[in-house]
Amino acid sequence: MPTVTIDDRTVEVAAGTNLIDAGLLVGVQIPHYCYHPRLTVVGQCRMCLVEIWDNGRKMPKPQAACSSAVTKEGWVVRTDTPEVHEAQRGMMEFFLINHPLDCPICDQAGECALQDYAFKHGVAFSRFRFEDKRTYPGRERIPLGSNVLLNMNRCIQCTRCVRFTHEVAKTGELGFFNRGARVEIGTFPGKPLENHLSTCVVDICPVGALTSTRFRFAERVFYLDKKPSLCTGCEVGCNITVEHRRGKIKRYKPRFNPEVNDYWMCDYGRTTFERYAQMPRLQVPRNGGVTSGTIGWKEALDQAARKLRSRSAEGAVAFLGSPFLTVEEAWLFAKLADAAGSPHRSVPVDRGPTWTIPNLKGGITGIEAAPNRRGAELAGLTPGTPAGESASADVLDHDALLAGDGAAQCSVLVVCDSDFGRAAWSPETVERLRRARFLVVFGWADSPLAKVADLAFPVPTHTEKEGTFVNVEHRLQRFAAAYPPPGQDRPLVDVLVDLLSRFDASWAQLPSPKTAAVFDKLAAEIPAFAGITWETIPATGTSLHMPEAKARLDTISAERVPERD
């Protein structure tokens, strides 16, 4: 592998690595607009010009770092010579002479590469004083598709979006039209930008030319707080950044994870947070339904523990799980079911939108609207008990509860998540589940189900809690809470530990933070998690020890054809 010296820092790189990537390895940032690691190198923004000495011989002109690949020994690169600075200043001037400079009303302001580089590499005055700026009349707000709006005046013609639709989405809706100073981005007649990844062009647009119709004017980006999280739209488990202001989520953005979603995320996933704002929240524990009063946490937990203990004589105790529970929560529910001696536990799963998220290995397709079905089932929310007590036909699984008359046989029915799926919101299901003699509901949503529950516990949404999910490829990924939950909501893990300590006092000794302690405990118990601890889960997630799952995965990926329904 050849070595290259960039600004006096030497690094060994794989042959063919371009200088922008090589620079990042040693902490040298080379400014660029058109280069993107997943798109073809076109070298057209000319912002990444550097000087190269090839074995002591200086190349006659400044070279574009993006299109200069290190293939041999002896390259010395400088990004800080007067020539390079002069070239960068010149390029910034060119970008800005025809740019509207409408930052005060531009959505990109605050995360705009043009702003950043103007500060870093530009000059503070303009020599473009008497001429008219080039404008594209009538092209200031053109909907390219239902999710993306184009303002051609702001465009710097880097063609990232065009290359994205051709090379990543492979739909090719966008084109580069006209030429010279009049070039513009556009769609072909009758073919709008409608693919499941279309909003990614907004993310990769370095300026405010492409804006998202959903996020447009929702918030100034410099007021947004950002926390790493995971998308709950389907089982792919795209890494995202939750961007919110004071607990109001404004958007999800994809977060780079080469193993899962690379730089991308689907349009459907970006809309999934909207339900958190649209649905009513449950904010205080409640007993006896919505018409009755509220209740304190302690009394509510006492009452739940009492009900769970007084089981067998009167009927079954059943747990209706949810694919939206974290691994830790699911495991604690399973422990609770063990304590109640109940084999009736299962995870209902809805069919999702079925989109493929491209990555370097070809992509991951999500079929189920279930970010953590695999984790919940591994944690023990499958019919039967660890003692081996019956996985027989008369187990009250989710089919029996949601489609059949299973709830009528229950003395206590615990619904682990008031928003476990589409069925949770249908009056028939609510009516069916209500047939249980005592209905306990945990959840963030004050859904019709929570309204009729005998006991309703307010718990956070996934953006308000931390935990782990296991995706379709059995990859364990950790996420953090973006902001604290509202009202009297308590983290579900804390609630369940409290509840369990009423059965077994040793739970009260669990150290804080609880989620980490619970995870370490379950990892020690479940073989698939062996050797993994909360602290050592890498940022990109880690594969669980599941040889048979891995084999299945290989066959799945071989026949993976995106289905559209």
Q: Which of 100, 116, 167, 176 binds another protein (CB under 8 A)?
A: 176
Q: Which of 67, 213, 271, 283 binds another protein (CB under 8 A)?
A: 67
Torsion (CA) 351, 357, 362, 364 in degrees, nearest 10? -30
Distance, CA of 529 to CA of 434 (rounded, Å): 36
Cβ count near 452 (within 10 Å): 18
Distance, CA of 508 to CA of 320 (rounded, Å): 25
Interaction between residue 60 and another protein (CB under 8 A)? yes
Q: How many residues bind another protein (CB under 8 A)?
A: 38
Q: Which of 45, 337, 423, 528 binds another protein (CB under 8 A)?
A: 45
Interaction between residue 180 and another protein (CB under 8 A)? yes
Name 174's bridge partners.
Answer: 187
Interaction between residue 552 and another protein (CB under 8 A)? no
CB of 433 to another protein, least distance (A): 60
Distance, CA of 558 to CA of 552 (rounded, Å): 10
Nearer to another protein, 45 or 495 (CB): 45
For residues 437 and 455, the answer to whether their CB atoms sit within 8 Å is no
Nearer to another protein, 132 or 535 (CB): 132
Interaction between residue 31 and another protein (CB under 8 A)? no
Residues 270-309 within binding reach of another protein (CB under 8 A): none
Task: Give how far the C-alpha of residue 446 lies from the chain's centroid of Cα atoms, to the nearest Å.
Answer: 24
For residues 367 and 234, the answer to whether their CB atoms sit within 8 Å is yes
Distance, CA of 536 to CA of 517 (rounded, Å): 13
For residues 352 and 404, the answer to whether their CB atoms sit within 8 Å is no
Phi-psi label, residue 465: left if phi above 0, alpha if psi -120 to 50, beta otherwise = beta
Nearer to another protein, 49 or 400 (CB): 49
Q: Which of 11, 47, 168, 402 binds another protein (CB under 8 A)?
A: 47
Q: Which of 105, 181, 313, 561 binds another protein (CB under 8 A)?
A: 181
Both tokens assigned to 398: 């989710």
Distance, CA of 62 to CA of 60 (rounded, Å): 7
Interaction between residue 165 and another protein (CB under 8 A)? no
Sorted by sequence, the CB contacts under 8 Å of residue 189 that are 6+ apart come out as none
Nearer to another protein, 42 or 537 (CB): 42
Interaction between residue 493 and another protein (CB under 8 A)? no
Interaction between residue 457 and another protein (CB under 8 A)? no
Tell which residue, 330, 416, 313, has the closest CA to residue 379: 330
CB of 182 to another protein, least distance (A): 6
Q: Which residue has the tokens 């994809």?
A: 254
Interaction between residue 124 and another protein (CB under 8 A)? no
Secondary structure, 3-state, 492-532: HHHHHHHHHHCCCHHHHHCCCCHHHHHHHHHHHHCHHHCCC
Interaction between residue 130 and another protein (CB under 8 A)? yes
Interaction between residue 64 and another protein (CB under 8 A)? yes
Q: Per-residue DSSP letters for 433-466?
A: HTTSSEEEEEESB--HHHHH-SEEEE---GGGS-
Q: Which of 147, 151, 153, 157 binds another protein (CB under 8 A)?
A: 157
Binding flags for another protein, 69-108, as an x/- string (CB under 8 A): -----------------xx--xx-xxx-xx----------
For residues 496 and 338, the answer to whether their CB atoms sit within 8 Å is no
CB of 68 to another protein, least distance (A): 9
Interaction between residue 127 and another protein (CB under 8 A)? yes
Please identify, among the stretches 46-54, 226-234, 432-440, 497-505, the one whose residues bind another protein according to the rule CB under 8 A: 46-54
List, as own/partner pairs, every contact residues 290-296 make where C-beta atoms lie below 8 angstroms and the sequence separation is at least 24, other chains included: 290/446, 290/450, 290/451, 290/452, 295/455
Sorted by sequence, the CB contacts under 8 Å of residue 111 that are 6+ apart come out as 221, 222
CB of 121 to another protein, least distance (A): 13
Please identify, among the stretches 124-132, 250-258, 377-385, 412-420, the one whose residues bind another protein according to the rule CB under 8 A: 124-132
Q: Which of 119, 128, 188, 223 binds another protein (CB under 8 A)?
A: 128
Interaction between residue 30 and another protein (CB under 8 A)? no
First to last CA, the chain: 48
Q: Which of 5, 44, 171, 271 binds another protein (CB under 8 A)?
A: 44
Please identify, among the stretches 152-160, 198-206, 339-347, 431-439, the one whose residues bind another protein according to the rule CB under 8 A: 152-160
CB of 45 to another protein, least distance (A): 6
Nearer to another protein, 45 or 305 (CB): 45
Q: What are the residues binding another protein (CB under 8 A)?
A: 41-47, 49, 60-62, 64, 67, 86-87, 90-91, 93-95, 97-98, 127-128, 130-132, 134, 156-157, 159, 176, 178-183
